[in-house]
Amino acid sequence: MIPFNKPYLTGAEHDYLSKAVALGKLSGNGHFTQLCQSFFEEQYGFGKCFLTTSCTDALEMAALLLDIQPGDEVIVPSFTFVSTANAFALRGAKIRFVDSKADFPGMDEAKVEELISEKTKAIVAVHYAGVPCDMDTLQLLADKYNLPLIEDAAQAVNSFFNGKALGSFGKLAAFSFHETKNVHCGEGGMLVVNEPQLIKRAEVIWEKGTDRAALFRGEIAKYGWKDLGSSFLLSDLQAAFLYAQLEHLARIQARRKAIWDDYSAWFSGKKDQIQVLPLSFLQLLEECLKGLGDVEFQSQPGNYHLFYLLFENAQLREEYIVRLAEKGILAVFHYQSLHKSEYIQNHQPEEYARHLPNAERFSDCLLRLPLFFDLPEVVVEKITS
């Protein structure tokens, strides 16, 4: 089976893991943690970075930092991973859902303002597929209503809006280093704190609610419980793995771009522009589409995180999944609209009752094709075996 995803290894991961072991600091906030955090701060102009065990944890840190309370409202897109909303629901917030754009799964910025009320405490922008939200529009709204803007940049490493890195716009931003992402450490994430006044408290929350980090820097004689927090730190072993990826980020991005461009060229009818994907693989993808109606395809590359096809309905999408599986290719759909989830039905029936047609369409009709660094080689191996 040609998988949907295969985690890429640069070759340096084992060496850095061995070095981390030799340094003798395996828990969080060690040598490789500092290297990774500095990489992002220096490469992209981010504020203070905190490696976390997941993007989910980074979002939960953000909810704590903003003091989200029961009865507060937080605006998020419906077409996103559950962590985007769950982090704030855990603090008792009511989630207000934004529809997707008609022509792209990302949130429709023009529909955010109508959801803002006196109870609104934050706006969460999700950069779907690494394609940036219109940060100018969202920042104007955040400034107009004096609301913090949070970036869920889980899929958006090395992606930009008007030349500025995603993750550097919001007061807070969260990234994912899950094995499906462009760079990864199996499971991992990062919180970016761009608001200087929040940095000190973020460190306390990150360290289980204590000022332990200040003790290790020699700033205090003993540490204590200062605030709410949790065990959010990524181990230095995982940070060592991640640093091996970050050193090769440019090469990883170049290969993913070549694969994304091949998909785009093929489905655009520009078949003479194919660079790395075997033609037999692309022909097979096309043959399996016969009789399945009009199919749209992703036109915005973002950071080459994924490539999707869009079918007319869920039945046609399911038929394509079955046809590809019979040929040994795994393709998968994506998010199910959160406003139609069982949790929202049980806890916020007024949101469940809303009709967000674009988000619902993408939930029913979107299909992601395999996209990973070694895809061309895996396809050749499959064909020749």
Active-site residue flag, 181: yes
Q: CA 300 from chain center: how many Å? A: 16
Distances (CA, A) of 102 to 73, 83, 335: 25, 24, 16
Q: How many CB atoms lie within 10 A of CB 148?
A: 18
Strand partners, 107: 100
Q: With the CA atoms of 89, 94, 98 and 99 taken in that order, what torsion angle do they form, in degrees rounded to the nearest 10?
A: 80
Residues sharing a CB contact under 8 Å with residue 127, sequence separation 6 or more, in sequence order? 106, 133, 151, 152, 153, 155, 156, 159, 166, 302
Nearest to 276 by CA among 382, 379, 370: 379
| Residue type for position 200 | K
Query: 181, 208, 270, 327: which one is catalytic?
Result: 181
Residues 287, 275: Cα–Cα separation, whole Å: 20
Q: With the CA atoms of 110, 116, 122 and 126 taken in that order, what torsion angle do they form, in degrees rounded to the nearest 10?
A: -20
Q: With contact defined as beta carbons under 8 Å apart, do 385 and 286 qualify? A: no
Q: Classify 313 as helix, strand or coil.
A: coil
The tokens for 55 are 């993007």
For the chain, report the end-to-end CA distance as a whole number of angstroms: 11
DSSP 108: -
What residues are annotated to the active site?
181
